[in-house]
Chain A
Amino acid sequence: MTEVKPEETFYAEKLKRAAHMLFFKRGKVPGARSWELRSGLGKGYKEVLSQLDEFLKDLDLEVKKVEVDALSDVGIRVDQDEDYRYFVRLKGTLTPKEARMTGWRIDNLAALAACLSVIVSKQGKCERKELEDLIGHKAGRWRSLTLMDTFLRTGYLEEDDEGLLKLGWRTKAEMDLQSLMLLVAESKPQSVATEPEAIDEDQASI
């Protein structure tokens, strides 16, 4: 007869609960704050999350911790030392074909890469007009306007009190900015003359 191990069962329950809290979106921003996890999983929530991270590795997923301050999240800070939001995100990266399946057009991806690189190079803030001109050069003037609205709506960019654009909560949670900047800095430009004409369709697909 196999012995019942109550501790393991207890732990498995917490793992399930942690997965539910991180996967299912409850508010505008996905994931869960550290105080939510502490009240849902107990003081040992970090070990539970670390165990969940181990399980998720096989699925090419990971638990990502981001400081709430960095996310510009609004809300009451419960613990000054430990206020984080935890997300489950893809550990690896998507292929262009997979990205298309998520509804992202190549124009959108390219425009987002350009916006993020410029904002990072300008220490995290940039004028909207400058970004619109930059995107408009490649994607067309009208499309640049809709793309900027899309990036703001989806949380990749945010507008501050002075009307300047900065990196949004989603960028901080999803993007490896060091890798992006390295790739841009080390890139060798292709001949842009061979590039097809800018698409002027106005249907943003995200």
Chain B
Amino acid sequence: MSSRGRTGLKRDLEDIIQTCNSIQSRQFNPFLLDVGEALEILRRHRDQLSSLQEHLLDMRAITGIARVVGLQSARLRFQSSSLFVDPGVVRDKIGGLSRQQLAEFLLLSWHPIVELEQLTPAAYTEASDYWNRLLSFFERRQRLQLGPLVAPEGASLAELSHAGLIEEKAFAQRLQEVWDELHRKSESFGFADYWGFVQGRSFPETVSKAQVVSFLISYGYADLEEKSSKLVLVPKKEPQSMAGSSLSYPIPIPREVRVG
């Protein structure tokens, strides 16, 4: 067979596999695939398969078609059930409903489970041991050398914010600002040096920014990469929530950054 024919065979099989995969990931209606036509294509190429790779592609295409047939069957059963509403209609309806209406619908269909946490003998023993070993409040306080006991006083929101106990801005707003800043600082090279970016004027500011950056990475708004043995941040134009890894990557803050 000519190389053009072989390329055509490969392309046909890959097209079928791709369509089947998209249907399986619920991107398309299962009836989008004409099963008869797909099988006809496979039948047409049957005698042209020669290499192991081509046989494997053919096998994957057949498996994909079989799964789509399964989904078509499930869809027919589902359409005949009382739960069937067209996904497009549901999306339109939800788009037009207020949050209040949606919440009310949920409440009218919600029967929460009653569940109570209980104390187990093991937990009781652990708690009892802890309590017995625990020093009195004044003894513990004395160990910390906190000086004389001061009566509690009130504090304003501005004072709490100044002390770093509460955030001045909503967390979502802070994420947005840091993401925008990362875009600005990456304009020239497409990335920004991690330490250069997170370092603030003080240690608390550095920690706070590193925390926000960790959220940006977890939520798929930026990537953490290594370039010339340096950690760099690469912002994304659009968030890719599924692209992020579930692995945790701790980054200790070195002394020079703390001091700087």
Q: Which residue of A is nearest B173, CB measured?
A: A200
A107 at the interface (CB under 8 A from B): yes
The contact size tier of chain B is: 35 or more
Please provide the chain B residues from 56 to 110 with a CB less than 8 Å away from any CB of chain A in the complex: 71, 74-75, 78, 82-87, 89-91, 93-110
Alpha-carbon gap, A107 to B78, bound state (A): 29
Query: What residues of chain B lie closer than 8 Å to A18, measured between beta carbons?
Result: none
Query: What residues of chain A lie closer than 8 Å to B78, measured between beta carbons?
Result: 123
Of listed A90, A109, A125, A163, residue having the most chain B CB within 10 A: A109
A14 at the interface (CB under 8 A from B): no
Contact partner of A61 among B74, B83, B109, B114, CB < 8 A? B114
Contact (Cβ within 8 A) A134 B94: yes
B112 at the interface (CB under 8 A from A): yes
Contact (Cβ within 8 A) B239 A141: yes
Q: A164-B25, A187-B93 are in contact. Are A140 and B172 (CB under 8 A)?
A: yes
Q: Which residue of A is nearest B108, CB measured?
A: A93
B: residues with CB less than 8 A from A are: 24-27, 71, 74-75, 78, 82-87, 89-91, 93-118, 170-173, 175-176, 219, 239, 241-242
Expressed in whole angstroms, the minimum distance between the Cβ of B163 and any Cβ of chain A is: 20
Alpha-carbon gap, A113 to B98, bound state (A): 12
Contact (Cβ within 8 A) A129 B102: no
Query: What residues of chain A lie closer than 8 Å to B71, measured between beta carbons?
Result: 123
17 further A-B pairs in the complex, CB-CB below 8 A; given A87-B114, A134-B91, A189-B96: A30-B115, A90-B114, A96-B103, A99-B103, A102-B112, A109-B103, A112-B106, A113-B106, A116-B106, A118-B90, A120-B83, A134-B94, A174-B111, A179-B108, A181-B85, A189-B97, A202-B171
